[in-house]
């Protein structure tokens, strides 16, 4: 009876593993297809999407597309390949533990994606609240510096996982730290992953809304309806950004804090929080691109042009009965 219960538990765990792999695969497909479409449209319409904001949005889509692929590699491919491998205190075991099982590259890209969102919000803040300074100060060099800064923050943050885990007799486990260092590490992680980005997003977009509200109340800035429309667009974008960032990242922060306080780590809750964070890779294109009217019009134009081209090619196609005499002149003479 004990053996039967053990076999049943193994079957349930295997079914849950396959379900988790299926969910992770769906998330990857959504991230790659959604961001791939955004990248394709913006590259085909490179002259139209040449502003600083559009370049940052393109960069955001590239990051999220890569994040989707890395997420699939870690959560599906490498997990199934490396599960049977036992962690031993050897060079190979340490490398597998510190570089693969800790998902260092995945968290580097996730944090890079977060701070690229921060760069977008800061650029929009400067363009809205300080337009003259924005035009005079923003350049291609500063754009590259901002993008490089986002990548640097992501990789510097992610690299700390290499030193926080080690391979031992019980597998890949966290390095033993004193209580003070554990508290410090959890506080720093919460600040970098969550508190700093969300604070900047709230501040910048709140200032943008206030600025647009003042402009809409002043007749010098044009018709009130136009300003109300712009204000509504920014407000919707702000709510979506803040809401989706909170939805995707808050469970991860709460779970990590509770796990540290209670000293327990539930595998399923950990997997769910990782899934929610991964959902941010395909939600961002919806927020920044599908709510972007200019992008929608260009996408519609490309689709319509492609459909018209296909129709023209179909109309120009020669029916088979009519094409037969052209292909064989003797048939044409015989028919006469």
What is the domain-level CATH number for residue 39?
1.20.1070.10
In a domain, 319, yes or no: no
Residue 249 in any domain: the answer is yes
Residue 312 lies in a domain: no
The pTM of this model reads 0.81
Please indicate, yes or no, if residue 329 is contained in any of the structural domains: no
Range of the structural domain that residue 34 is part of: 12-293
Any domain includes 326: no
Spatial contact of 120 and 53, defined as CB atoms under 8 Å apart = yes
pLDDT single digits (tens) 93-151 = 778 888 888 888 998 999 999 999 999 889 888 888 888 888 888 888 989 999 999 99
In a domain? residue 173: yes
- Is 309 domain-assigned? no
In a domain, 201, yes or no: yes
Q: What are 249-290's pLDDT values in tens digits?
A: 888 888 888 887 776 666 678 888 888 888 988 887 777 666
The domain total for the chain is: 1
**Which one, of 176, 162, 182, lies nearest residue 107 by Cα?**
162
- Dist. CA 193–CA 107, nearest whole Å: 10
Tokens linked to 237 = 């974008």
Q: What is the pLDDT of residue 319?
A: 53
């Amino acid at each position: 009876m004990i053996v039967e219960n053990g076999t049943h538990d193994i079957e349930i765990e295997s079914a849950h593993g396959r379900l988790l792999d299926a969910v992770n695969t769906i998330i990857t497909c959504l991230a790659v297809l959604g961001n791939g479409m955004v990248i394709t449209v913006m590259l085909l319409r490179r002259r139209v999407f040449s502003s600083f904001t559009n370049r940052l949005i393109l960069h955001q889509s590239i990051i999220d597309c890569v994040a989707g692929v890395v997420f699939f590699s870690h959560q599906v491919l490498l997990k199934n390949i490396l599960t049977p491998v036992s962690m031993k205190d050897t060079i190979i075991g340490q490398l597998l533990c510190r570089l693969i099982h800790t998902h260092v590259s995945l968290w580097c890209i996730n944090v890079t994606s977060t701070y690229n969102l921060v760069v977008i919000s800061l650029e929009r803040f400067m363009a809205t609240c300080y337009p003259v300074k924005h035009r005079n100060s923003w350049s291609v060099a500063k754009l590259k510096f901002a993008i490089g800064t986002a990548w640097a923050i992501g990789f510097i943050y992610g690299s700390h996982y290499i030193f926080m885990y080690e391979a031992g007799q019980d597998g890949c486990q966290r390095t033993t730290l004193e209580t003070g260092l554990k508290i410090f590490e959890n506080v720093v992680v919460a600040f970098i992953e969550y508190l700093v980005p969300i604070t900047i997003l709230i501040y910048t977009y709140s200032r943008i809304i206030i600025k647009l509200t003042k402009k809409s109340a002043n007749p010098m800035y044009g018709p009130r309806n136009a300003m109300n429309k712009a204000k509504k667009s920014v407000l919707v974008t702000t709510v979506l950004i803040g809401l989706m960032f909170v939805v995707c990242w808050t469970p991860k922060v709460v779970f990590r804090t509770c796990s540290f306080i209670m000293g327990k780590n539930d595998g399923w809750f950990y997997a769910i929080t990782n899934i929610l964070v991964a959902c941010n890779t395909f939600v961002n294109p919806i927020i920044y691109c599908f709510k972007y009217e200019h992008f929608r019009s260009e996408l519609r134009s490309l689709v319509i042009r492609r459909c018209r081209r296909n129709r023209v090619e179909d109309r120009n196609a020669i029916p088979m009965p009519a094409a037969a005499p052209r292909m064989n002149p003797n048939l044409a003479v015989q028919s006469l």
